[in-house]
Structure 1
Amino acid sequence: MKIFSKQKDTLDILAFPPEILVEKGQYLLVSEGDKFMLAQVIDVSYADIPGILEDMLREVSLEIVNHENIFDPFDTGSLTIMIKEARMIRCKIRCIVEGDRIAHNSSWLPSRFRSCISVAKAELLRNVMKLLGKRRIHIGTVGGEDFWVDAESFDGRLTIITGKKETGKSHVTKLISTTLVEYGALVIVLDINGEYVNLKRRVDGSQSSIALRHEVLEPGKNFKVRTEDVGLRTFMDILIHVYDTPSSSSREFFRIWNAVKKNKGEVTLRDLIDTIQKTQLHESVKEALMSRLMAIEATGIITDNEDCVTSFDEVAKCISGKMLVVNLRDLLPSTRRMVVEYLLSKLTELLQARRLPPIFLVAEEAHLYLRDTYWDDMVTRMRHLGLSPIFVTNQPDSIPETIYRQADNIILFNFTNEADLEAIAKTSRIDSESVKAIAASLPPRYCLLIGYLVKDIPVVVKVREIDAETMGKTRLFFELYDRQLHIARVGKEQVA
């Protein structure tokens, strides 16, 4: 392999078929003396040779006319054929390394003829990235070699995990989350599909490494809160943003809440309903408030029964790591949003008061229940609060551009839709050409790591398996049908 040309940060390398054992996303090491360059492959194509079309047309025409290949007793055409088979490997220059110094914008160029080009090993990449943290998360493999990132790279950082469905987004999220818990972190998961509820079990049914540090909250069952704990501000947010309460009705509710608080000392849902029924209000306002409060009461999440109230402070207490899964699977969309409104408000309050340690918040399919204002608020204040969000979505265009621009880490799985790729490419921490070229060709369970967790040197990783009951597999009719047929067939054979 030889260097052919360089344009800005793009390096073209000339290679012949026996040398071409590289794939998109792999790194080539271009070294000369005590310096070397790391260049990531983004495309492999045929070399553009002058006159190649005319030569090929002439050969094809002669084969058609003679009905046989051209006779070449001295094999003089072998060199010509080898030249015609030459490939051009297009790469992006990621960094120049000299000793312990790494430069991302160096003007150094290796010699076209004296430089040595080889495939970079995973160990070299780890050393260049200085992934030497005390807490390693074994993500998977690079070129068959183990590759890990530092758990510290998620701490106080915004991480976005995105890709098409069935590519492995939830799988890598579970891998990261369980490892963080093993290292003593408090991880709160907003689980919309019920995929995290069985992480305490391994595939064989035995207990997993986080079995004793895994708890599931079922809103309306083992997760209920007092009206007083919800508070006026959060209750108003629920009425306005979840139930679309008109402004006139919201103002009356604000007044009624304060009146109940003044007269009773504390606010209950039943007192609010009774007061609204007795107060002289416009019929439309009364109807609007009554219908919404009755709907909230019917969810069973906000209650006046002190005996079945869940103390979130106690539940979230973490001594040696804990995964707290809020199961949103069987809830109505409005109830789901209500639970999230309360949780985010409560977490903000506890973190501000230093009653909770810094936490990791995993939001699965967050675009379905998290309103835009909360995205901005969480990201803007997360460092000061001690909140490290991990957003998981298959709709990258649903996340505001302002959020992408503040993302520290992006874990990108396969995307082929141009609009999705464009949404990520224009705000990621690497060039858009690399994102579009690599992401579109990623197989399932392969991802592109971008950002702080790889020190801005993007890497394609094959995600490893996790020994836990992940429950993220797609249920298929014919797979179940074939299994039942097999069981029936075995049963008949045993009887016979």
Structure 2
Amino acid sequence: MMSRPILGRVLRSGSPLYSYVYSDYPMPVGSYVYAEFSVLDRASGSKVGRRVIGVVSNSSYSPIIERPSIVDLRSESSQEYSVPSISIMSIYIVADITSDKPETPRYPLPPGTAIYPAPPEYLRILYELPEKGFIRIGSLSEYSGIEIRLRVNELSRHFLVTGATGSGKSNTVAIIADRLTRIGAPVMIFDVHGEYVGLQPEDGDSSRVRVYEASISPYKIPPKILASMIIRDPAATKQRRLLARALRILNREIGDTCSKGYGISLAVGEIYSKRSAAKRISEDLDEEPAQTPSSMYKKILVDIVRSISGSSKAYDSKVVESVIDKVDDFFETSPIDLEAPRVVDMIETGRIIVIDVSRLSDDQKAWVLKLYVDELLDHLKMTVASGRRSLPVVFIVEEAPLFLPADSSTPAKESLQRFAREGRKFGGVLGIVSQRPRSLDPNVASQLQNFIFLKLVQEEDRRAVMNIADSLDDSLAQILPSLPKGRAIVMGEWIGRFPVLVDIDQHTGKRRGVSPDLYGLWSSGSRASEEIVEEKFSIEGGWVL
């Protein structure tokens, strides 16, 4: 038996996976523990020793005998006053390490079994993995000398990073992205709030990060989809049909001009000049003359809408003017760039590609995400179909419930569902980041098989992640509300058969998305204001009343 101090003894075991332990003092939630015990081998009639590793998932602390007395509250009572107490703790049994090869626990711990602190050498049996084929994500909770690594090849099973606000999600994403790109992976982050703009890799090589400010190229978006982006009213089918027809005509004309050696913007300028010379484009006196490629594109598009309506009785003037108004609104409120790159043009080996969509409305973000995901999946499929070697791509979606709500539809929802179902066959890795797992679409959640669970306080969220990760036992999920910032339960094929408590490494180049020092910022601003007032007072020679 072990010479280490006994932390407690087993009171009872509900199954091979969890036991209740009593002690004179509670252990911190998340502490790793060890036990060894004997079981009867029915076949041989002899006793066989077992060794297991567990983790404290919950604890309580109560007096053995409740005897409240008013005397205890008097000032003359001893400062060393104490009440005989007992702590009851829940222990989740992670693995059986009897043969120095981790196995799923099969025997419940007998009552009275001693519980010890887990020795590092036994924890290494459970968690230490080779470096090749893995990336480090952090260290074992409370054991900084034991590295925790993720199996890179298991990323094809997609992953979920979830936790409450401020629990460390974006830091975790930065660590995964940075360390995957170091081995050559292209990692794309659909950055909803601009948190990853300014991200600096850990090795200081800023060339490994590319930031694209998302913009919309009307020429590169399929006309039917762009018409739906501009005219969102589900009942406005006639308006969308008219606009989609006009977009097809214009984009075909741009394509024909580009075939003569023009770039997209130059082609638009050429078309605009020809139409203006032929007086086919009417200039609105209330508008400034078109000076940019996007404003020229808009004026040509409006001209084509009017010409279609003039040659067809299918569209009355009310429909036409409504379409034109919506086109005007869209071009005024949206970041338009005819030369905006396609998502497949952004892919680079060993690069973090940050797609900053923070300037877009939520609806525009959903449409752009749909376009990117569809285009990426089609690209991966065509690469494989052509017989060429496909470069696997990691695509991470921040604030996923915006695009994958459980109880409603969004433009990107169906595309993400398809990517989750089919992407892994063609080298597409989907990463989902959410602070509200209860709101995630179950069809996508069911495709996720790797998990990082940071602090979750709400009961609904804890129940949700237990449904998403079948192997997350209730006794282990009890830890989630108590996790400090940056500590997580990591589960899934990328970590192996057994869940692990990890202190995620701190990414030193992650600058945005960190909770601001409100006191410091406000107090420094206040001091600066006082200095200005004092300086003004000294210059003017005193207060004037």
Matched, 1:157 2:157: yes
Give distance in 1, aligned partners of 2:52 and 2:103. Answer: 10
CA 1:328–1:468 in 2, change beyond 3 Å: closer, same or farther? Answer: same
Alpha-carbon deviations, 1:150-193, whole Å to 9, x = none? 25166212211122211211111111111111121101111122
* Aligned residue in 1 for 2:451: 410
Matched, 1:167 2:167: yes
* Aligned residue in 2 for 1:340: 369
What do you get for the CA RMSD once the two structures are aligned? 3.7
In the TM superposition, what is the alpha-carbon distance from 1:125 to its structure 2 partner? 3.5
* Aligned residue in 2 for 1:127: 125
* Aligned residue in 2 for 1:425: 466
In the TM superposition, what is the alpha-carbon distance from 1:90 to its structure 2 partner? 1.5
* Aligned residue in 2 for 1:23: 28
How many residue pairs match? The answer is 455
In the TM superposition, what is the alpha-carbon distance from 1:255 to its structure 2 partner? 5.0
Alpha-carbon deviations, 1:268-303, whole Å to 9, x = none? 865654332212314454345434444444466555
5 Å matches for 1:225-244? 225=217, 227=219, 229-232=220-223, 234-235=225-226, 238=229, 244=234
TM-score (norm. length: structure 1)? 0.78
Give distance in 2, aligned partners of 1:104 and 1:284. Answer: 70
5 Å matches for 1:73-152? 84-99=84-99, 101-104=101-104, 106=106, 108-109=107-108, 112=111, 117-121=115-119, 124-129=122-127, 131-134=129-132, 135-145=134-144, 146-152=146-152
Give distance in 1, aligned partners of 2:120 and 2:381. Answer: 41
* Aligned residue in 1 for 2:433: 392
CA 1:369–1:283 in 2, change beyond 3 Å: closer, same or farther? Answer: farther
Give distance in 1, aligned partners of 2:72 and 2:364. Answer: 72
CA 1:104–1:282 in 2, change beyond 3 Å: closer, same or farther? Answer: farther
SS of 2:190's equivalent? strand
- Give the letter aligned to residue 426 of structure 1: N
5 Å matches for 1:263-342? 272-280=301-309, 281-298=315-332, 303-304=337-338, 308-310=339-341, 312-318=343-349, 321-342=350-371
* Aligned residue in 2 for 1:72: none
* Aligned residue in 1 for 2:422: 381
Give distance in 2, aligned partners of 1:262 and 1:488. Answer: 60
Do 1:161 and 1:169's aligned partners in 2 also have CA atoms closer than 8 Å? yes
Alpha-carbon deviations, 1:433-489, whole Å to 9, x = none? 235421111122222223223324222222332221421123354321222355688
SS of 2:423's equivalent? helix
* Aligned residue in 2 for 1:11: 19
* Aligned residue in 1 for 2:401: 367
5 Å matches for 1:343-358? 343-354=372-383, 357-358=391-392
Report sequence identity in percent: 18
CA 1:313–1:118 in 2, change beyond 3 Å: closer, same or farther? Answer: same
Do 1:160 and 1:392's aligned partners in 2 also have CA atoms closer than 8 Å? yes
SS of 2:494's equivalent? helix
CA 1:278–1:233 in 2, change beyond 3 Å: closer, same or farther? Answer: closer
Do 1:42 and 1:437's aligned partners in 2 also have CA atoms closer than 8 Å? yes
- Give the letter aligned to residue 440 of structure 1: P
* Aligned residue in 2 for 1:205: none
5 Å matches for 1:210-221? 210-220=205-215
Alpha-carbon deviations, 1:103-156, whole Å to 9, x = none? 3252x345555x553222566445324633513223244213243222516621
Give distance in 1, aligned partners of 2:73 and 2:334. Answer: 80
Do 1:425 and 1:435's aligned partners in 2 also have CA atoms closer than 8 Å? no
* Aligned residue in 2 for 1:246: 236
- Give the letter aligned to residue 330 of structure 1: R
Alpha-carbon deviations, 1:413-452, whole Å to 9, x = none? 2222222222223332334523542111112222222322
Unaligned runs of 5+ in 1: 70-77, 203-207
Do 2:229 and 2:364's aligned partners in 1 also have CA atoms closer than 8 Å? no
Do 1:200 and 1:468's aligned partners in 2 also have CA atoms closer than 8 Å? yes
TM-score (norm. length: structure 2)? 0.72
- Give the letter aligned to residue 337 of structure 1: A
CA 1:243–1:353 in 2, change beyond 3 Å: closer, same or farther? Answer: farther
In the TM superposition, what is the alpha-carbon distance from 1:250 to its structure 2 partner? 3.7
Give distance in 1, aligned partners of 2:402 and 2:453. Answer: 20
Give distance in 2, aligned partners of 1:141 and 1:99. Answer: 22
SS of 1:444's equivalent? coil
SS of 1:425's equivalent? helix
- Give the letter aligned to residue 160 of structure 1: L
Matched, 1:459 2:493: no
SS of 2:157's equivalent? coil
Do 2:55 and 2:92's aligned partners in 1 also have CA atoms closer than 8 Å? yes
Do 2:190 and 2:396's aligned partners in 1 also have CA atoms closer than 8 Å? yes
